[in-house]
Amino acid sequence: MSKVVPHSFFTEFDINLFKGGKHFRLYNKLGSHLTEVDGVKGTYFAVWAPSAKSVSVIGDFNYWTAGEHELNVRWDSSGIWEGFIPGVDKGTKYKYKIHSNNNDVWTEKADPFARFCEQPPQTASLVWEDDHKWKDDTWMDTREEKNGLDRPYSVYEVHLGSWKKKNGWESLSYLELAEQLADYVEEMGFTHVEFMPVMEYPYDPSWGYQITGYFAPTSRFGKPEDFKVLVDALHQRGIGVILDWVPSHFPEDAHGLGFFDGSNLYEHPDRRRGYHPDWKSLIFNYGRNEVRAFLISNAIFWLDQYHVDGLRVDAVASMLYLDYSREDGEWEPNMYGNNENLEAMSFLREMNQEVYASFKGIQTIAEESTAFTGVTKPVHYGGLGFGMKWMMGWMHDTLEFFKKDPIHRSYDLNTISFSLTYAFTENFMLPFSHDEVVYGKQSLLYRMPGDEWQRFANLRLLFGYMFTHPGGNLLFMGGEFGQSSEWNFQESLDWHLTQYDFHSGIQEAIKDLNKMYKTNPALYEKQFNPDGFQWIEYNDQENTVISYIRKGNDPKDDLIIVCNFTPVPRENYRLGVPKTSTLKLVFNSDDKKYSGSGMGKKTMKPSKTSWNGYKQSVLMNLPPLGVVVYK
């Protein structure tokens, strides 16, 4: 086979952008690209390895022999090695063999910009391109309106490998998911799907959060174009796609980004800032221009090449604080003497600015568990610029409250009402994610107290309260039918449970809650605005009941929500209401079709009896462990 032919995709402008950390389409330049030079077909390779003495492309085309196809280093001190190899075709397996100037070290690395990788445990990169013809024009043309912050966000979180199995053990492919998952999510009425990381990762128990192939959908479930088919299928059903994205850390696997060219190229060289003690992983060097360009290019890659509608950014808290999970003496303060990682904050701001400027109708969502202020405030107001933030405090408080025996709940109503003291300080999404159903925490169903009937009634109440609380919401797969066991990434969800009335009842309740959420503007138009919420009663300890109003732009859309957190029915419960018009039932978690008792009134006409500060009131029949919604 011919040797390396000098060739470049880079202009001087590209190099200046790259060095300045401002090149955000690096995937068009670095990596492997099928091309033609002087009428000869082959592949152009380019890799960033500034500490290298030499870089060879090794692969099945040259029997993995170093020195056979050495790339040429650029003369501009960019640290980029490049060249064209004739005859290298699509599907060719390859790596980079790097001889470092640092202590004569040799490394053998997968391509950081590879579009496709061998299926683990194999670790080579593959030369790849696809010609998927997108059919989601309708979605993309209207996405800005459908995906805005004043629109419904009911997110179904999915781990691709364990949503459903065939033959008892084999995961579904992207193409099978494009039919079965898309059909199911449409039937259930969720507005979005959020995929746990799809980028290539070597270790199954990491669930995808330890990434080695940032630009490649995992080959476990098919080819890159097959994953595009899955996104396309969801879009054609009007369902948005959010990807988990992990710019916080990466594994030390020999073929990955760590110690890439014999130096700390991608990771911070100071272990106090470059090593994560919890996850035994490496932390990106956010102060290095080329690393910032790599990460922002990656965020843009998925939005651009895969039509993704949002990125949920993992472990943001670990990025923001220098002392995250570290003891005294294990971290060094910043220039101002405090614990904030100024470089990571700067990176997140720039990333958000760039993706929002580049794509209409997308959202970024921060998984951030601390009281850091301004996560969802615009960058020009000093914020980090995210669209939404997971409301971890609400999740912890709510599950803590619901696990209590109802006889003790009256003393803890403030645990439920407390979230409204800060609910509008950020644009919050309410998450019951995969993290809440693993490591001995039990499933959501089995965190509910009481006998079987009460467990399921509590779960329906929990979901009804979630859907009517201000903010978007997210539910991990299996929760929608009351999965009994904890999530196990190696096994399918327990779909057989849906043949039983209690479980199918939960499923029907979620369908109706999604329908209610999407068809009642009071639940989404002002979900991040304090004008969209008003308490009626937040401290009825005697009955353990809370009640509130959700408001949209039109007062005619207002909804009244009442939650009874005990198994005791409350007959003739008086509630003050703001209007004299008849109240009509919109949702009752105790409906018989959900395996409830069917208690509750369909309509109510207010009387002129003052109550709760209003001039009129109604007498309600509150179902046990139930939530009712009236319009």
pLDDT digits (tens, 9 = 90+) for 145-194: 999 999 999 999 999 999 999 988 899 999 999 999 999 999 999 999 99
Pairing of strands 428-432, 388-390: parallel
What's the whole-number mean pLDDT along residues 581-585? 96
Residue 296 confidence (pLDDT) above 80: yes
What pLDDT does residue 528 have? 97
Residue 482 confidence (pLDDT) above 80: yes
Q: Is the pTM of this model over 0.95?
A: yes
Query: 354 catalytic, yes or no?
Result: no
* 101: phi then psi, degrees, rounded to nearest 5: -70, -20
What pLDDT does residue 86 have? 97
Q: What is the pLDDT of residues 23-43, one digit of tens each?
A: 999 999 999 999 999 999 999
Which of these is catalytic: 157, 226, 314, 350?
Answer: 314
What pLDDT does residue 103 have? 86
What's the whole-number mean pLDDT along residues 302-314? 98
Distance between CA 267 and CA 426 in Å, rounded? 31
Burial of 418 (0-12, 13-18, 19+ CB in 10 A): middle
364: nearest Cα among 429, 461, 420: 429
What's the whole-number mean pLDDT along residues 242-270? 97
What's the whole-number mean pLDDT along residues 60-76? 96
Could you tell me how many residues make up the chain?
Answer: 631
Residue 2 confidence (pLDDT) above 80: no
What pLDDT does residue 168 have? 82
Cis peptide before 121 (omega within 30 of 0): yes
For residue 533, what are the β-bridge partners? 550
Which of these is catalytic: 290, 367, 508, 591?
Answer: 367
What pLDDT does residue 59 have? 97
Residue 481 confidence (pLDDT) above 70: yes
Residue 1 confidence (pLDDT) above 60: no
Distance between CA 286 and CA 345 in Å, rounded? 9
- The three-point CA angle 222-224-226 to 5° equals 60
Q: Give the burial string for 255-291 (b: 16+ CB within 10 Å, else e).
A: bbbbbbbbbbbbbbeeeebbbbeebebbbbbbbbebb
What pLDDT does residue 452 have? 96
Query: 367 catalytic, yes or no?
Result: yes
Q: Please provide the average confidence, as pLDDT, over all residues in the chain.
A: 96
Residue 313 confidence (pLDDT) above 70: yes
What pLDDT does residue 130 have? 95
What's the whole-number mean pLDDT along residues 85-109? 96
